[in-house]
């Protein structure tokens, strides 16, 4: 068939970063993510012009999934961040802001992209090596035998998401629930390789946040009438469970383009029902106590099972199939033929529960590695944001279990790292360059652009016109309110650094962020007594932060290396 319209040639643009459109696009994106950053970040409402769902958020995962991006360069940036967030859940905004700052700062320098990229890689390697080293001054060990640091982790995630709309009391309550839910997923007698369980988040919208709770096992939502029809099971031993992933409705499956040959006088419906009842007789003879089905159970089979005091629950849904398999130890049954004895599992007990206006059938496990977090919030918008935040906090704890270290949060790691890089590049440039052909002058220029990008991330934490300072001993961040006097005694205005580890009563010297100052050596090797005495630290996940740092630098290098953008306009 001939084309109705002539094919348009592809549009080829050279040196894309030099065009005003690209610079403007990146600048707008940077302003969006920068304004969302931190505990006092501004919320964004995302919706289309035709109505429908409105998303109110300051989280990168929700923001980027609802943001329509058309420019190829911006697509590279957003895709890289989304890939990072899908793997690590945290530090998405940090990654986005740092990447934009790196691109912006480097463009002001009269250096070739090849030189910039090479030196950026050297500085990235320096950062990762330092943050992983024993001498790192912004890394602390995480002791899973104590809940103090773990609660700090969860609290840090919750307080950085203002759209959750939590009070201090609610934050403490939800933090404790998240930690308990996480600890329930760790097997009690784990040796060697640990396989974590799962925390299921059950929605209870319109309820008080303080009514949220955690229960071991799985909650299956049902109507009050359905629950009243279920017969109570009184048994001293574990209950035997059969889990079906196929329909037990008795419907004839779609034959597609084929045909079904039926003998004269044979009823397909009766034949299917007979097969279901035969299945029911096997379940009875195998002493099954509970039948769970992902899809529909035929009413006659349900009645038949209930007559023999077997609880039958259908329409479980695909979401609960994996947790049910893990918790009960069943193998999902996908046919109506003979059932292998190995397919059955068990639960410790069952009961009914009511929370708010909802009724649930509660499966209590033999070993509590699956739990249900009943999450309450005042409205749909706040609940959606809180659910996403709880998932992030749970994922952060899982990552920390694999690599039990934390980075100091609140911007202190970024300012400390910037001070360390400046000191290293000024006093020991040979160790960074090694056999590289780049000059020390080029290294100084790129290092300053790199440090300025890190400090700009920190500057994004302030949204109300306040000032940000750094001390000249630890290289930590300190915030000053906007209405503070211009000339003042800093210890009277400053209480704690951003992470909460140090207070202003120490003999410290401060300078404004981004002000000109001589490079200094930030104190390394955190004293254990300082960490142990701090009860309310702001912390970041080491694994997520390292990945975010790497993704930001590598994505910036990729965009800086672009010579042409070729778009197919057809």
- Closest C-alpha among 570, 562, 558, 564 to residue 12: 564
pLDDT digits (tens, 9 = 90+) for 271-322: 788 889 999 999 999 999 999 999 999 999 999 999 999 999 999 999 999 9
pTM given for the model = 0.90
Strands (E) in 286-399, as ranges, are 290-293, 311-313, 345-347, 349-355, 358-364, 370-377
Please state, in angstroms and rounded to a whole number, the distance separating the CA atoms of residues 262 and 402. 59
Residue 261 CA to residue 268 CA, distance in Å, equals 11
> In the predicted model, is pLDDT for residue 255 greater than 60?
no
Residue 226 in 3-state DSSP?
A: helix
DSSP 437: S
pLDDT at residue 486, as a whole number? 60
Q: Report the pLDDT averaged over residues 244-252.
A: 86
pLDDT at 536: 85
Torsion of CA 85, 90, 94, 99, to 10 degrees: -20
What pLDDT, on a 0 to 100 scale, did the predictor assign at position 375? 96
Confidence of residue 200 (pLDDT cuts 50, 70, 90): very high
The 10s digit of each residue's pLDDT in 202-225 is 999 989 999 999 999 999 999 888
What distance in Å separates the CA atoms of residue 330 and residue 328, rounded to the nearest whole number? 5
Computed over every residue of the chain, the mean pLDDT equals 89
Q: Which residue in this structure is represented by tokens 């089905």?
A: 293
> What domains sit in the chain, N to C, each tagged with a CATH number?
11-138+408-567 (1.10.560.10), 143-216+374-403 (3.30.260), 218-254+263-367 (3.50.7.10)
User: Are 242 and 339 a contacting pair, CB within 8 Å?
Assistant: yes
Least confident of 154-168, 214-228, 231-245: 231-245
User: In this predicted structure, what is the pLDDT of residue 209?
Assistant: 96
SS3 269: helix
Pairing of the two strands 477-480 and 349-355: unpaired
d(CA 567, CA 569): 6
Whole-number Cα distances in Å, 357 to 26, 203, 218, 313, 450: 47, 12, 18, 20, 54
89-118: average pLDDT: 94
How far apart CA 303 and CA 297 sit, in angstroms, is 10
**Which pLDDT score, from 0 to 100, does residue 2 have?**
53
């Amino acid at each position: 068939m001939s084309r109705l319209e002539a094919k348009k040639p592809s549009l080829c643009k050279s040196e894309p970063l030099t065009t005003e459109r690209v610079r403007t696009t990146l600048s707008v994106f940077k302003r969006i993510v920068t304004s969302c950053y931190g505990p006092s970040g501004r919320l964004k409402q995302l919706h289309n012009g035709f109505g429908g769902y409105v998303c109110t958020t300051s989280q990168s995962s929700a923001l980027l999934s609802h943001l329509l991006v058309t420019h190829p360069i911006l697509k590279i940036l957003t895709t890289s961040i989304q890939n990072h967030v899908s793997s690590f859940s945290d530090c998405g905004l940090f990654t986005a802001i740092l990447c934009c700052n790196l691109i912006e700062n480097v463009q002001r320098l009269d250096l070739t992209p090849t030189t910039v990229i090479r030196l950026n890689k050297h500085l990235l390697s320096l950062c990762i090596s330092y943050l992983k080293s024993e001498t790192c001054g912004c890394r602390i060990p995480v002791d899973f035998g104590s809940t103090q640091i773990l609660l700090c982790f969860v609290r840090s995630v919750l307080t950085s998401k203002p759209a959750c709309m939590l009070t201090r009391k609610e934050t403490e309550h939800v933090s404790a629930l998240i930690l308990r839910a996480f600890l329930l997923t760790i097997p009690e007698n784990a040796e060697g390789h640990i396989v974590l369980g799962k925390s299921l988040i059950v929605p209870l919208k319109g309820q008080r946040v303080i009514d949220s709770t955690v229960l071991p096992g799985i909650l299956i939502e049902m109507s009050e009438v359905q629950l009243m029809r279920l017969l109570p099971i009184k048994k001293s031993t574990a209950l035997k469970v059969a889990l079906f992933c196929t329909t037990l409705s008795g419907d004839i499956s779609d034959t597609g383009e084929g045909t079904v040959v039926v003998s004269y006088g044979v009823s397909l419906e009766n034949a299917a029902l007979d097969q279901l009842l035969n299945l029911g007789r096997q379940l009875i003879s195998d002493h099954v106590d509970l039948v769970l089905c992902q899809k529909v159970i035929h009413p006659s089979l349900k009645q038949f099972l209930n007559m023999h005091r077997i609880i039958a629950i259908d329409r479980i849904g695909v979401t609960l199939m994996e947790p049910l398999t893990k918790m009960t130890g069943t193998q999902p049954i996908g046919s109506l033929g003979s059932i292998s004895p190995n397919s059955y599992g068990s639960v410790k007990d069952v009961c009914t529960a009511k929370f708010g206006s909802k009724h649930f059938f509660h499966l209590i496990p033999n070993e509590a590695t699956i739990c249900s977090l009943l999450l309450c919030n005042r409205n749909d918008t706040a609940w959606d944001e809180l659910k996403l935040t709880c998932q992030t906090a749970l994922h952060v704890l899982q990552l920390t279990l694999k690599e039990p270290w934390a980075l100091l949060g609140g911007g202190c790691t970024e300012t400390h790292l910037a001070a360390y890089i400046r000191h290293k590049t000024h006093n020991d440039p040979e160790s960074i360059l090694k056999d590289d052909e780049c000059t020390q002058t080029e290294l100084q220029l790129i290092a300053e652009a790199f440090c300025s990008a890190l400090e700009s991330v920190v500057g994004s934490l302030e949204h109300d016109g306040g000032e940000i300072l750094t001390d000249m001993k630890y290289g930590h961040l300190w915030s000053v309110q906007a209405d503070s006097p211009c000339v003042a005694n800093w210890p009277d205005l400053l209480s704690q650094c951003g992470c909460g580890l140090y207070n202003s009563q120490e003999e410290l010297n401060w300078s404004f962020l981004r002000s000109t100052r001589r490079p200094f050596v930030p104190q390394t090797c955190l004293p254990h007594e300082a960490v142990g005495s701090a009860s309310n630290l702001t912390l970041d996940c080491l694994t997520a932060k390292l990945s975010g740092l790497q993704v930001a630098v590598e994505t910036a290098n990729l965009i800086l290396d672009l010579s042409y953008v070729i778009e197919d306009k057809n």
